Structure 1
Amino acid sequence: MEARRNNPQHLTAILGWLHRFFDAVATWVSQLSWWKFFLFALLALVAGKILQDELFSGGGEEVVVRNDKKLHKKEPESSILIDDSGIRFNPRPKDKRGAAVVPEPPVPGEAPAAPAVPAPPKGSAAVRAASGEEVHIALPPQIGEELSNAIEAAVDDAAEAKVSRYHKQASTWFKSFVSLLVIALFATKALMGGKKRAEAQTQSANAAVERESMQRQLSEAKMQMMQAQVEPHFLFNTLASVEYLIQTDPPRASAMQRSLIQYLRAVLPQMRDNAVVTNLGREVDMVTAYLNLLKMRMEERLTVDMQIPEQLRSAAFPPMMLQSMVENAIKHGLECKPEGGTLKIIAEVAGGKLRVIVADNGVGFGVVPSDGTGLGLPTIRERLKLLHGDAGQLHIAANSPSGVIATVEVPYQVSK
């Protein structure tokens, strides 16, 4: 009973193994190009031909039969010996059951038993054969030797013919097996190649979609993190300036407080919004509030030149990116310059792309080391690549006579 229960399991395991093997072979064949497949088929046929010749051709082998000038042919009923003196025949008479009868030697003192049938003439070959005695047919030596050689040659020819038939049959089966194998692989590639290729393309497309989705999620997470960041150093300095001006210049402290409220009103919606792309007008309003606060701190040391056409305010632009560019220009170019300088913000469309330029005439890029705020230019490049691929670019160049020009290019689209 246990064996009967295990048989279906073994059969299922064998069928499963055969299915996996066939699927692996079909996948491998379908992945080959046609010229590679035909090359493989040609090599398989050549290798099969070589193996066929080596295994089944006989290779010049000779069937060796031991020959001691005697041919012994043992049979249950008799034995025949052919030598140079002639033919010797030693019959063994059978009893009623068909078994050979071996004559018993006569008992001493007793007369031999008389034959039950009339005996032929004494001394004849028939009498000697019937009585189990050896029969010797004398032949001339030359004829006996020729007869012995002829029988041996016949036996050799029969053995060689049998081996040759076996080799020919095995060779035919082997050749047929190799041919059928190649034909089966060809049919598998022709019939299942399209299916396997479609499955491979589907898997590749699913993997690409999954990678793109993961990259998009990563991009959105990074941008949400950047949107949630408000420069602590900037806020603390602004609040400290407000507190100082309350004691020394209350009207100016009130104006700075209003500018801070305006800036936070522009920034907080960006922090709560999870949009990947916003419009340029919204970014410009936020940067304007930020620059108003800075102008109250830097006073005449900061001059702002804003050139944003009204029709470009609806253009799509990544959130917080313009803010990052302006912060870099202030912190690394103008704020560290004793006499200050001018900050220009320009927007234009060229070649189907929106180009936003932030230029300053400060000390120059790289003169003042970064304090690691996390809103630097490398992050801008990474965001542009995630959002637009090669279509989004950040270019950094030196300004004349001093300062830096940072240019962001993105595909021109109207924000929804």
Structure 2
Amino acid sequence: MMSHLLSAWRSLKRTELLLLLGLSLMFGAIDLSDLLRIDAGPKFWSVVTHHLVTSVAAAAVIMLCWLPADRSSEQAAQRTRRLVIATVVGSVLAALTIWELTVSLPWPSITELVMIKKKMPMPQLSAGLFVSFTLQVLLPTSLLVAASEMLRRQRRATEALQRVLAEQAQLRRRAMASRLAALQAQVEPQLLFDALVDVEQAYDQQRPDAALRMERLIRYLRVALPRLREAGSSLDAEAELLDSYLDVMRDLQPRAPQLVRLWADGIGQQALPPMLLLPLLQTALQRAAGDPPERCELRAERMAGSLHIELSFDRPGLCGSVEDLAELNKRLALLAGPRAWLSCTSRDSGPTRFTLDLPDT
């Protein structure tokens, strides 16, 4: 019990100290409002000092009673009862403190000035007077404690809501990452069938590059299939997937473009959401139809707190539909945050550029 009291008193925060001062000023303002109705003369500042000292002392007593109740478990069923008891006990002790200081302090109080002007003796502490003192303290104290508890519960509810929203967003990101990893692990049935037929024909015809074609197909499968177990990727891994895909395509279509990687050392290990670059490559090749690009460049650099990636082709008009880009931007928003953005530019006689910006998290 004593350890809890000491721990609660030592946990006094700066905001609570400011609340203590505000409470004491409230008590002082209540008392000093009567000072405007009487002429205190040269004793004005003595009266002000008296009431400020008694107000600070009363607020300190209330704070000492309130802190242990406030530091009790927020989930405890008896918390409200403890706060009510602490508020009542604190108000009673504060009223006793005010009375004792009123009698013992060297500075006069407003009550003393009034009694002196009326040439009457100071009243003795009676039950009615004590109840009056206690109620004067209890009313503002109850309002402050109730307001503090309401703010605490509102803050706790807001924090709980934020945690739930954060967990929900995390689950959505994981679900999307798993879906994209599964998509990335898929091997296009037609591509696989054509590649297998091509390898079989190469072996039947005893062509010297048959083994190389088989190695390229195996490499593509080794790069693509393990993505089913991965929730994320990297720039190097995505580039390896593009390269292996183009190797297989080159065996089927000799005019498939060459991939050129252009970035500084260390950037290749940068984390990257899965299933972003391969759909862009596939879109460009599909749009190219019978006139595929000859060169495909993958650039990456860090710019102002973000990773800037550019996938470009030496052919115009390969951006694909607006709906496809919008769908990829939705994936980006879930996986990399709302500030991540994918765009595509293409001029009539210039290259097609897919631009991806991934801000640091």
Structure 1 residues 16-415: aligned runs within 5 Å: 189-229=143-183, 230=186, 231-248=188-205, 250-273=207-230, 275=231, 277-332=232-287, 334=288, 336-338=289-291, 340-362=293-315, 364-365=317-318, 376-399=324-347, 401-412=349-360
Shift, 1:233, TM fit: 3.3
Question: Structure 1: which amino acid aligns with 2:355?
Answer: T
Shift, 1:363, TM fit: 5.2
Task: Name the CA distance, whole Å, in 1 between partners of 2:180 and 2:336.
Answer: 18
Q: Is the 2:177–2:335 Cα contact (8 Å) retained in structure 1? A: no
Deviations 1:195-220 (A, max 9, x none): 11221222122112212211221221
Shift, 1:191, TM fit: 1.9
Deviations 1:278-324 (A, max 9, x none): 32222222221112111222213523332233321121212232223
TM score, norm. by length of structure 2:
0.54
Shift, 1:226, TM fit: 1.8
Q: Is the 2:293–2:313 Cα contact (8 Å) retained in structure 1? A: no
Q: Is the 1:279–1:315 Cα contact (8 Å) retained in structure 2? A: yes
Counterpart for residue 116 of structure 1:
none
Shift, 1:189, TM fit: 4.3
Q: Secondary structure at the match of 1:215?
A: helix
Shift, 1:259, TM fit: 0.8
Q: Secondary structure at the match of 1:313?
A: helix
Consecutive unaligned residues of structure 2, counting only runs of 5 or more, are 1-136
Rg comparison, structure with higher value: 1
Deviations 1:251-278 (A, max 9, x none): 33322221111111112222122x3x33
Identity of aligned residues (%): 20
Consecutive unaligned residues of structure 1, counting only runs of 5 or more, are 1-182
Task: Name the CA distance, whole Å, in 2 between partners of 1:228 and 1:358.
Answer: 23
Aligned CA distance change for structure 1 residues 380 and 184 (closer, same or farther; 3 Å):
farther
Question: Structure 1: which amino acid aligns with 2:271?
Answer: A
TM score, norm. by length of structure 1:
0.47
Two-structure CA RMSD over aligned residues (Å): 3.0
Task: Name the CA distance, whole Å, in 2 between partners of 1:266 and 1:339.
Answer: 24
Question: Structure 2: which amino acid aligns with 1:278?
Answer: S
Which is richer in helix?
2
Task: Name the CA distance, whole Å, in 2 between partners of 1:385 and 1:339.
Answer: 31
Counterpart for residue 28 of structure 2:
none
Shift, 1:339, TM fit: 5.5
Deviations 1:168-206 (A, max 9, x none): xxxxxxxxxxxxxxx999765422112112212221221
Shift, 1:247, TM fit: 3.4
Task: Name the CA distance, whole Å, in 2 between partners of 1:221 and 1:289.
Answer: 27
